[in-house]
Structures are given as C-alpha cells and as structure tokens.
Structure 1
C-alpha cells in the first residue's frame, strides 16, 4: 500500500462499512429486482421475457470488462471520488431505464448504469478491507458484502411487491433516488481510503498464472452462474408470481443475511477452505431440493431457507482466500473477483434460456447444482496447487514490472 491505513474506532469502521454496504445494496437491487418483475417489463416493453433477461447479460459483461479497466486507468484517483462518481452515473442509468418508452432505451439505461457499477463494486469491497485491520478483514468483507445479500433479501421482494401495486418503474426510480442520497453520505464519511500501488495491465493478467488465484476465480464464476441461473428465473422455477414469489424471495434473502453474517467470523476462525467447502456443499443440496419439490410452496420455502444461508455464506471464504494468497496483489485479485462474478451473472440468462426452451423448468436448479459442484471442485483444487507455480508467477510479475520500467 502507498498510504497508511486510517485509524478508525470500531464505531467509525462500522459506519463506513454500512455506507459501503448500502451502496452495494442499491447496485445489487437494480440487478435482482428484475427477477421479480421480469414478466411486467417484458409485457410493458412488448418483448419476450428472455430478451429482458439478456439485458442482465449485457450489464454484467460490461461491468466485468470495465471494472479492471477502471483500476488500471485510474489508479491514483481518490477512491472516494471514484465511488461517488460511479454512484452518480449509476443513478442516471437507472432513471433512463425506468423511464424508457421502449426496449432500446431500457437497454441503453442498463449500459449507462453498468459504467457506475464497474466503478463502485470492486472499489467498495477493496475499500472496506483496506481501511480495516488485517485481523478483522473477514468481518469487513462480510459486512460490506451484506449489501448484495440485502439486495435479494429486501430489494428484490420489496421491489416486486411495490411493482405489483403500481408499476415496475416505481421501484427503479426509488433506487435512483436513494443512490443519490447514499452517494452524498459516502462522500462525507468514507474518506482517506488507502491507495494501492499502480498496477499495469500486463501485471494484472500475470497474477492469473497463479493457480491459487485463478481457481478461486473459476469458483466465483461457476457459483455465481449457478446461483443466478435459479434466481433470475425464479418465477419459472417456482411457478409463482406476485406476492407468493415476493415472499419466497424474502425468505431466501433474509436467511441469506444470516448466512452472510455468520460466514465472516467463521472464516476468520476456521479458515476459508473449511467454511467455503461446507457452505458450497450445502448449496448443492438446496438446489437439488428445489428441483425435487417442484411447485410445492411449503417445500420451496424450506429449500429457499437452506439456499439463502448457503449461497451468500459461500462467497465470503472465496474473497477471503483471494485476499490471503498474496497481500501485495490483493487489490488486483479482488478486482478479478468482481470480473468473475459478473461473467457468472452474464452466463446465467443464456443457460436459463436454453433450459426453458426444453419446457422443463426443473432443469434450471439441476443446472445450478451442477455448476456449483464444478465450482467446489475448483475451490478445493486451488489449495493443492504446487507452490512452485505460485513462485514462478510472482517472479514473472516482478520481471514484467522491471521490464516495463526500462
């Protein structure tokens, strides 16, 4: 790091964590809310539901590509300025999408919002960790990350409920208004965030030669694809809409907060390998159960409890692992995490559309379970990669940096 970590009191840290978490909550809500109002948007804009789903792919690919570009091109820009500007761009994009008269303008709004998301998502996660003492970074990741969990716990079901008594445009405009408020709060309280060393594009790609980095990133992509495959098409999977779907999403999200809350302290105490393995295995069981119970509301409610706990609890150990491999490149690794996460989200609508074309909605949770199994295999393999490979990658990174300075 090129700056000394700020010395914050516990209360001060908690406030900053929560502001960052709320920023991620709003960005996550903009994505997750579509799962509950997908049919409404499709009817209003006169396009197939799968086309609306593909805007999630477009949004996610852009964030995946732009997030590392922001880190390379703006390494010295204040993290506070970067996040505040990102939230402003995000709010503009959401407003454009919410007021869109047709599908083309709706898509354009999603593209604008992706610019803001690319600036905020990796930066907020890294900022939360960098202002926190090393012994509490697992907790910091969990608290900041709870924003995404709360987006599905509160944002998606609340947005679905609001849309059911008004229109899908109302909750989206609410997200935009709240984004402006949290942007102002962030500018005031999240300041003096340490800047990492400038990272060249070549060095950014060089760390991917370390299997201890690459394999957890593969885990992120696969687990995110499996989770979003089921979440985005939750209406088709459950056979429910409106209030019932909102309740199921609420159950899933509330217990997701529970999983997110316990995962940080558990990871700090027992390590990322044990905790990550346990929760990913539990998620596989939950997704398989969703396929088995069919459209039984009671069965789905139970399965959604287990799915909520495990889905979000499994993300923390993956991030913790990436941060722990090499502190010198932790900021680079966590930015790649955001890229892998959004690539996984981008893949989900494509896989879901293929599954739905067969007429068998049960294939969606089965596909989610298979993707999670593959993610768990990659995660565990990352711990048995020979250190020699990692040393070679580190040496190559240093050599690349030296060559670029000549």
Structure 2
C-alpha cells in the first residue's frame, strides 16, 4: 500500500538520523573539542525531546488532519538537522538536536497509529512491523552510508544528506497521503488514569528499561569496540546491528499475528538480548563470532517495540495515538537516560568494555519484570472469567 510505504520512508529517515550519530560521535568530538561522554549527550538531548514531544503533541494535535501533522513534523525534523549541520559549537549542536528530536517525537507515534488505522486488525502487527522496519532499515542502509559520507567529506555533510531525505519524505506525504483526522485525545482525567493503570504502566516500564539498556549501550558502540579489541573501523559492526534490526522488526509482526501473544514473545526477546550483551566482549575477540552478538542485539532491540505497541493498542483501542505516544516516549526516554547513565558511569571510572555487562544485568531485571506481567495477566484473566460466569448465573 502506497500510504504505508510513504510512512515507512519517513521512519527510514528518522532511523538514519537517530542511529548514525553514534558513529559520528568521535568526529563531532574532535571538531568541537569535547570528550566522548559529552558528545554522547547529543544523543540524550535528541531522545529526551522526542520523549517529551510525543505525548504533548499527540494531545494538542488530535482531531487535526494526520497528513498535515506529519508534514509539519518532518519540516521541524529537517530544520533541526539542517541546524545541526551548521552547528559551530556544542551548545548550538544540542539546541539543534533538540529541535530534530521534537520533530521525530511528533512524527513517529502518529505514523504508527496511522499505519494501524489504514489496515484491518488482522494485519495490524505487520503494519506496525513495517514502521519499525523502515526505521531499522535506516540503520542498516543509512548508518553505513552516513559514515562513508562523513569519511570522504565530514559529519556536517551526513547531516545535510539526512535533511534532504526528510524533505523528500515530507513532500511525498504532502502530495500522496490521504487526509483524515487523528482520534480525539483522552481528557486529562482519562490520561492520568491511563498512566495510573497498572497494566499500562507495567508495559511502558518494560519499554523504558529495555531501551535504557539497548539504546543507551548503542550510543557508545565506537568506544566499546576501541576499548575491547582496538577496532577503529566500526561501520561493519553498526551494519551488523542494523541488519539484525531489519530482520527482527520485519519478522516480529508476523509472529505476533500468528501467536497472538506479544507478552510471551517479549520473554524470548529479552532473554536473547541479555545473552547478546553478555557475550559481546568475548565475541569481539573471536573473528568467527565477532558480528553475531551485534546481529542478535540489533534484532531483539528492534523487535521489542512492536509487541509493546500491539499490547497497548489492545488495552486502549479508542485512544491508540495516546497510548502509542506514551510507549514511544518511554522508548526514547530510556535511550536518553541510558546514554546519560552510561556516560556518567564512564566518568565515574567504568571502562567501555564493562558497559555490555552492566546493560545485560539491566535486561535481566527487565526480563523478571516481564515475567511478572505475564503472571499478573493470568490472574486477571482467571478473575474476569470467574466474574463473568457468576454474572451468567
């Protein structure tokens, strides 16, 4: 479907921008004469603004034309990237990345909701998988391309290229995307109740912890590779991570539609992610296994989002945009916290080679939390069944 493809192109551009920065951090640090932990905050500010923008704009702009919102989102996103390309100081770069993050935070959850609205319920998992697949393809294709551009020109040229891609996606949606209104937002009381709902809060908490570990660790990939195995050419490893992401994000939707159990799938995703992180420092020292950990890590990290979105849409079908926006906020807030947390950990004396172990431990904690959600859901279903049987009598 053309409409889904247009949304996917926009997500591709967002993925390109969000994940190429990790590979550009060493060059940005040299240009602006700042440390690795400082340059990592360029990722944190982008993801933090994304996290804050998603729920705010999902509320303010609900009822407006989704096409118009998506166009404005990509315009703001492109403006932020253009400003990033001309940044001559660290402060200017942080402000520009904040603007780009606001545009991304406005676009991503609405694109996912629009995709789910354009297909039948039976195909919703595949549609959501396409959205994340577009973003993960931005990593597997865009990140290596962006690093090649930076190598032959500089990191400014990479950001200019992303700006152009954002404008292309913007004009495509402006011309060919249908115009229909976003769903009316829940009231303030309903929104507070949504956050206070234990089942929704639990799902969002798992998303937050997963992205804190996965995306926070990804920010310092270059430092980890250099510290563990003195690897200077990081592009193949980012490529392996992105390839895994494409496989994971495109395949998880079909698995959800087939099994109907996104909560159980999350158990396998988190267990595999923990294994990948714990094995990463050892795998880098074995040429035959050096890329396997990155492939598994990328696949599980990207696959983790679709089950969460699907579960939230099942709980709140009438307020899909708001619930997906909350989940997107948790995802990017986790990335911001993870980037900052691991940066502070290195300032406190933790070496980059130790970061994968710290992230793996956090994933194990998240796995226990997901298991608790499944147990709680079983008890809830048994209670609801007994109650219904009682009412029937």
The TM-score with structure 2 as length reference comes to 0.90
**Residue correspondence of structure 1 range 240-251 to structure 2 within 5 A:** 244-251=233-240
Aligned to 2:196, which of 206, 209, 218? 209
Aligned to 1:45, which of 21, 29, 32? 32
Q: Distance in 2 between matches of 1:259 and 1:152?
A: 13
Confirm or deny: 8 A CA contact 1:161 1:243 kept in the other structure. Answer: no
RMSD: 2.1
Q: Identify unmatched segments of 5+ residues in structure 1.
A: 1-12, 392-406
**Residue correspondence of structure 1 range 132-211 to structure 2 within 5 A:** 132-211=119-198
Confirm or deny: 8 A CA contact 1:142 1:316 kept in the other structure. Answer: yes
Q: Name 2:271's counterpart in structure 1.
A: 281
Q: Name 1:330's counterpart in structure 2.
A: 320
Q: Name 2:110's counterpart in structure 1.
A: 123
Q: Distance in 2 between matches of 1:339 and 1:235?
A: 26
Aligned to 2:95, which of 108, 112, 123? 108
Q: Distance in 1 between matches of 2:369 and 2:203?
A: 7
Pair 1:334–1:213, CA change in 2 (3 A): same
Q: Distance in 1 between matches of 2:153 and 2:81?
A: 18
Q: Distance in 1 between matches of 2:364 and 2:162?
A: 34
1:256 matched to 2:245? The reply is yes
Q: Distance in 1 between matches of 2:222 and 2:230?
A: 6
- Superposition deviation, residue 117 in structure 1: 1.4
Q: Distance in 2 between matches of 1:168 and 1:212?
A: 43
**Residue correspondence of structure 1 range 1-400 to structure 2 within 5 A:** 13=1, 15-239=2-226, 244-270=233-259, 271-357=261-347, 358-383=349-374, 384-385=376-377, 387=380
Confirm or deny: 8 A CA contact 1:132 1:140 kept in the other structure. Answer: yes
Q: Distance in 1 between matches of 2:127 and 2:113?
A: 10
Q: Distance in 2 between matches of 1:307 and 1:249?
A: 11
Confirm or deny: 8 A CA contact 1:131 1:193 kept in the other structure. Answer: no
Q: Distance in 1 between matches of 2:244 and 2:46?
A: 27
Q: Distance in 2 between matches of 1:378 and 1:368?
A: 15
Confirm or deny: 8 A CA contact 1:219 1:374 kept in the other structure. Answer: no
Q: Distance in 2 between matches of 1:354 and 1:256?
A: 27
> Structure 1, residues 359-394: CA drift from partner, whole Å, max 9, x if none?
422221112212222222233322315549x99xxx
Pair 1:362–1:349, CA change in 2 (3 A): same
What number of residue pairs does the alignment pair up? Answer: 377
- Superposition deviation, residue 173 in structure 1: 0.3
> Structure 1, residues 284-309: CA drift from partner, whole Å, max 9, x if none?
11111113335555432121122222
> Structure 1, residues 341-371: CA drift from partner, whole Å, max 9, x if none?
1110111122211332324222211122122
Q: Name 1:401's counterpart in structure 2.
A: none
Q: Distance in 2 between matches of 1:72 and 1:302?
A: 41
The TM-score with structure 1 as length reference comes to 0.88
